[in-house]
Structure 1
Amino acid sequence: MKNDIFENQSIPKAVGSLALPTIMGMLVMIVYNLAGTFFVGQLHDANQVAAITITMPVFLLLMAFGSLFGVGGGSYISILLGKKEGEEAKQAASVAFYGSLAIGVICMLAGLLFMPQILHLSGASDNTYEYAKGYLMIIAVGSPAIVASFALGQIIRAEGAAKQAMAGMMIGTVINIALDPIFILWLGMGVTGAAIATVIANIISVSYYIYYFVKNDSQLSISFKKFVLNKAILKAIFSIGTPASINSLLMSTSNIILNNFAVHYGDNVVAALGVVSRVVLIPIMLLFGLCQGVQPLIGYNYAANNRKRMISIINFTALWGTAIGTIFALLFYWMGKRTIEVFINDPVVVDLGENFLQVILLSIPFLGIQFLLTTSFQAMGEGIPSLWLSISRQGILFIPILIIANAWGGLKGVIYAQPMADIMTTVLAVVLFYREVRKEQVLLGKKQ
């Protein structure tokens, strides 16, 4: 790791060095997410587009488990490296890797055993059930690779190797995009083909990450010799990773609930929501990439007691996050219909999607600050505030708002629920972070 990035480089250069590769990696992931929907949309079958939307909660669930070991392990590794505890960092990396593999196997078995129950719970209708089943069957088999791929990318990023983490994502995504038209269109496999392409891509990404560790370019290790069920390591990984995991878990739960509300208004509504969710992934993933990229920088400086530099990094990133979110919100508001038409040409779905997109864009300018402060708490090892923010955006705020808004405003209320929850969570994030900063100032004053 080049400690100069963490300790001495100017804030813009340090943020750029770590965040830009991560953002580029997220851009590749965005293309991957959009490509599957795009090629399935070329089949001109709204039911197959809806099937991908219905199975999205399962993918988010796998991300939740990847976050448990990836974000938890990665954040803890950054803190250990900031304290110059290299051997403990190697042990933490090994525990995070093998933990992600183990939980991926458990997800595979659970997915295959409880397939019908999962599909019905996710909101599959008579028109979408078989399509969703074909997709989910393949994703379940590939669960270990999907979970491990997400976790390993976070672990590698924790030591400042953002370019290598991006490369792993890019390799898998390029392969996924190349395989999508082959399986979906040329072989006529539809949504099942999309799932096969996804699993193959994740297996190749994992292979690249393992090669990165094996060729000794890393100061970390995923060797089984370093695997130690150390209580302190497990406690740290779970205390930091659980809030991030709960965030993805609640995203999965909220998507299931949203699908169940939406399906009552018809499969076209589900399809439109699916397309819109892919479109808004562009600014969301870019902002997430920005915040994930600076997480090691924040964690390192926090552990090194360089609070002034840490706050400067957070302020600089918040400014850019707000600017990026605002630009994309204005851009998609202006060209929303044309964006929806890229993925599907059904006029009913396009009109619904345009209306949904205009509403959901209302909260995009606020997400940069929300993601940044949640990431900052994780980087500082502050699991409780991070947990509150995680369960607010997709849980204790979103779900009650969704239920009340649906009862009050029908479909319109359902669409407004997420932006309302996002804005309220951002306010909560600012309040919690201000309290944390005040507490730090008091503690430092007492020490002096």
Structure 2
Amino acid sequence: MALTSKELAKKDIQGLLIKQSIPSSVGILFMSVNILIDTIFVGRWIGSLAIAALSVVMPITFFISSLGMAIGIGGSSVLSRALGAGDREKAYITFAHQIMMTFIISSLFVVAGIFWGDEILYIFGANGEITAPAKEFFMPILLSVPFQAFCMMGNNVIRAEDKSKHSMNSMIVSAVANIVLDILFIKVFGWGIMGAALATATSFFLCFAYILWFFIYKSELKPQWKHFIFHKKISLEILSMSFVTFARQGVISLLTVVLNHTLYAQGGEHAVTVYGIVSRMLMFALFPVLGITQGFLPIAGYNYGAKNYDRVRESIGLSIKYAGALAIIIFVVILFFAKPIVAVFTTDPEIIKDTPGALRWVFAASPIIAVQLIGAAYFQAAGKPIKALMLTLSKQGFFLIPLVLILPQFFGIFGVWVAFPIADVLSTIITGIFLKKEMATQLKES
């Protein structure tokens, strides 16, 4: 049976981008809503301090599970180019190695979390009154991380197969389950933050079950046992591309450590709670932009592998155009409706007073971020890990972390919030320069 991914080389780019991006966007929306509603329920039914606990724990577990996302995105870059070149055997070996790597590496990190949980929580900002609820939330989530990692890996492979609707469905299953179980465990049973943790952990397992069903019954990738034998060259190729995403998540985790400790030093638990709401909005509000970026990856990767450079150029241009337009709309909504948005999360008057200003500053440069996201994604799709890594790390690693460390010394907590748009502008300029040069050389018009 012919792979439907071959349509990536033939169909209209705009139609392909819509086909890939809408399910990806909806899937990310449901994943974001999952996190958002979790935060709303916890803030309103348990208390604002519980939001701070979530802000400490979720980056830890997301860092571990993002190993699956890294292997999924990096491996799918290899997979898409293999399919584009017509090498089906390499595609099977790549997928088999993605499965093995995801479970082995994420499980090792879970073991580390079990033995050194208290120390890890402290590093990520579990200070003062945040510590007790953070510990309670941590362990059930940690044990479910391999399932979440498999979901993140599997979703990227599904998109590489050009079957994004199933990726979307898996996230919908997880989100709906988490919302229902949150109501049941927190509100009905009164299990507090432990109930929130159990609801989230169960939702990860249900997502895993759906992804597993897809690969058994619906996937066109059917690796055999021989494909699970260690293949050094393909393993290194997957890891080289995965390292880009993993390094980004590692830097994001380092940023979380720096932010939580800086915010606690500047404003205690209150400041950490403010950022807890802001960070949830960052995950939620940008879902359509991230969806277009996810939809762009397999199109660019497949056509780059097939040497259809004109189609790669077109996909870059359209992706930036649509993602940029959506980012402008998001910025306008945040600008005018920041206060009512914050009021959804909590009834604490101090949090409602201080968070809208922070939210507006953090989103101030969002209209231009499409260039940075699509530009970095292109280099990953094209199998150029060094450039992809440098551009991916530019915002958080090269600019935001140093700015968060320096600016609060002069401007207090305002320095934290204004660091975000400055980092966005600087990273976008650098990415734009690299992308323009690439399009004038490697992707020049024939």
Q: Same fold (TM over 0.5)?
A: yes
Q: How far, CA to CA, are the matches of 2:226 and 2:186 in structure 1? A: 42
- Which residue of structure 2 lines up, in the alignment, with residue 272 of structure 1? 274
Match in the other structure for 2:116:
114
> 1:77 offset after TM fit, Å?
0.6
Q: Which deviates more from structure 2 when the two are superposed, residues 86-95 or residues 427-436? A: 427-436
Q: What code does the residue aligned with 2:166 have? A: Q
Is the contact between residue 5 and residue 160 of structure 2 (CA under 8 Å) also seen in structure 1? no
Contact 1:366 1:426 in 2 (8 A): yes
Q: Is the 8 A contact 2:286 2:330 kept in 1?
A: no
Aligned residue type for 1:219: E
Q: Quick check: 2:173–2:207 contact (8 Å CA) kept in 1?
A: yes
CA 1:225–1:178 in structure 2 vs 1: closer, same or farther (change >3 Å)? Answer: farther
Q: Deviations over 1:278-330 (max 9, x none)?
A: 12222323211111112101011111111111111110110111110010110
CA distance in 2, matches of 1:328, 1:187: 37
- Alpha-carbon RMSD: 1.6
CA contact (8 A) 1:81 1:159 kept: no
Aligned residue number for residue 240 of structure 2: 239
75 and 346 in structure 1: CA distance in 2 versus 1, 3 angstrom threshold: same
Distance 1:224 1:207 in 2: 21
Q: What per-residue deviation string (whole Å, max 9, x for no partner) do you get for residues 183-221 of structure 1? A: 222222222222211111111111111111212x32213
In the alignment, the residues of structure 1 paired with residue 195 and residue 104 of structure 2 have an alpha-carbon distance, to the nearest angstrom, of 26
After superposition, the C-alpha distances for 1:355-406 in whole angstroms (9 at most, x for unaligned) are 1011011121122221111111111001011100122211121111111111
Name the counterpart of 2:230: 229
Aligned counterpart, 1:18:
20
Q: Please state how far the C-alpha of 1:67 moved relative to its aligned partner.
A: 2.5
Name the CA shift for 1:60/1:424 in 2 (closer, same or farther; >3 Å).
Answer: farther
8 Å CA contact retained: 2:21, 2:296: yes
For residue 380 of structure 1, what is the aligned residue in structure 2? Answer: 382
Looking at structure 2, the residues matched to 229 and 422 of structure 1 have their Cα atoms a distance apart, in angstroms, of: 40
Alignment pair present for 1:297 and 2:284:
no
Q: In structure 1, what is the Cα distance between the partners aligned to 2:136 and 2:388?
A: 36
For each residue in 1:217-272, what CA deviation from the matched residue of structure 2 results, as whole angstroms up to 9, or x when unmatched?
A: 32213554421321221121111110111111111110111000011212111111
Question: Which deviates more, 7-16 or 99-108?
Answer: 7-16
Q: CA deviation at 1:44?
A: 5.3
Quote the Cα distance in structure 2 between the aligned partners of 1:229 and 1:316.
39
Shift of 1:3: 4.5
Measure how far apart 1:411 and its partner are. Answer: 0.4
Tell me if the contact between 1:57 and 1:253 (Cα under 8 Å) persists in the aligned partners: no
Q: Look up the SS of the partner of 1:218 in the other structure.
A: coil
CA distance in 1, matches of 2:350, 2:368: 30
Residue type matched to 1:270 in 2? V
- Counterpart position of 1:410: 412
Distance 2:66 2:28 in 1: 17
Whole-Å Cα distance in 1 between the matches of residues 168 and 302 of structure 2? 20
Shift of the alpha carbon at 1:63? 4.0
Among 379, 387, 397, the residue aligned to 2:399: 397
1:141 aligns with 2:143: yes
Which residue of structure 2 lines up, in the alignment, with residue 94 of structure 1?
A: 96
The offset of 1:407, in angstroms, is: 1.2
Q: CA deviation at 1:51?
A: 0.5
Unaligned residue ranges in structure 1 (runs of 5+): none
| Aligned twin of 2:319 | 317
Equivalent residues, number: 443
What is the CA distance between 1:34 and its match in structure 2? Answer: 0.6
1:260 partner letter: H
CA offset at residue 60 of structure 1? 3.1
2:383 and 2:91 map into 1 onto residues whose CA distance is 15
Structure 1 match to 2:39:
37
Fraction of identical pairs, as percent: 27
2:249 matched residue in structure 1: 248
The normalised TM-score by structure 2 is: 0.96
